[in-house]
Amino acid sequence: MDIKSRKTAPVGVFDSGVGGLTVAREIMRQLPNENIVYFGDTARVPYGSKSRNNIIRFSRQIVHFLQTKDVKAIVIACNTASALALDTIQEEIDIPIMGVIVPGARAAVRETRNGIIGVAGTEATIRSETYTKVIRSLRPDAKVIGQPCPLFVPLVEEGFAKHPITEEVIDIYLSSMKATDIDTMILGCTHYPLLRSRIIAYFGEKVHIVNPAYETAMDLKKVLEEQGILNDAGQPARYDFYVSDTAEKFTEFANSILPYDVAATRQINIEEY
Ligand code: DGL
Mean pLDDT lowest for which of 67-76, 150-159, 180-189? 150-159
Ligand 1 contact via 122 beta carbon (within 6 Å)? yes
pLDDT in tens, 167-224: 999 999 999 999 999 999 999 999 999 999 999 999 999 999 999 999 999 999 999 9
pLDDT in tens, 93-148: 999 999 999 999 999 999 999 999 999 999 999 999 999 999 999 999 999 999 99
Whether the model pTM is above 0.85:
yes
pLDDT value, residue 236: 86
pLDDT value, residue 23: 98
pLDDT value, residue 122: 97
- 47, containing H or E segment: none
235 has a pLDDT exceeding 80:
yes
Q: Which atom of ligand 1 is nearest to the CA of 50?
A: 9
Which of 148, 127, 154, 163 lies closest to 42, judged by CA?
154
**Band of pLDDT at residue 270, cut at 50, 70 and 90:** very high
Ligand 1 contact via 188 beta carbon (within 6 Å)? no
pLDDT value, residue 261: 86
pLDDT value, residue 234: 80
* Distance from the alpha carbon of residue 160 to the mean position of ligand 1, in angstroms: 16
Residue 155: count of CB within 10 angstroms of its CB: 19
Q: Ligand 1, residues 80, 130, 149: which to mutate, most atoms within 8 A of Cβ?
A: 80
* Distance from the alpha carbon of residue 4 to the mean position of ligand 1, in angstroms: 34
pLDDT value, residue 157: 86
User: Which position among 21, 75, 76, 78 bears the catalytic label?
Assistant: 78
Sheet-wide strand order for 116-121: 143-148, 116-121, 184-188, 208-210
Query: Quick one: average pLDDT of 238-257?
Result: 95
What is the average pLDDT score of the chain? 96
Alpha carbons 58 and 43: distance in angstroms, whole number: 11
**Band of pLDDT at residue 233, cut at 50, 70 and 90:** confident
**Band of pLDDT at residue 69, cut at 50, 70 and 90:** very high
Ligand 1 contact via 191 beta carbon (within 6 Å)? yes
pLDDT value, residue 114: 98
* Distance from the alpha carbon of residue 41 to the mean position of ligand 1, in angstroms: 10
C-alpha to C-alpha distances, 137 to 94, 107, 115, 131, nearest whole angstrom: 26, 13, 13, 10
Mean pLDDT lowest for which of 31-35, 79-83, 113-117, 231-235? 231-235
Q: Which amino acid is at 19?
A: G
Q: Which atom of ligand 1 is nearest to the CA of 19?
A: 1
Ligand 1 contact via 193 beta carbon (within 6 Å)? no
Q: Ligand 1, residues 13, 14, 16, 131: which to mutate, most atoms within 8 A of Cβ?
A: 16
pLDDT value, residue 3: 75
pLDDT value, residue 263: 85
Residue 189 known to be catalytic: yes
* Distance from the alpha carbon of residue 78 to the mean position of ligand 1, in angstroms: 5
CB crowding 75-98: b at 16 or more within 10 Å, else e = bbbbbbbbbbbbeebeeeeebbbb
Ligand 1 contact via 15 beta carbon (within 6 Å)? yes
pLDDT value, residue 74: 98
* Distance from the alpha carbon of residue 81 to the mean position of ligand 1, in angstroms: 8
Provide the phi-psi class of 53: left if phi over 0, else alpha when psi is between -120 and 50, else beta: alpha
Whole-number percent of the chain with pLDDT over 90:
93
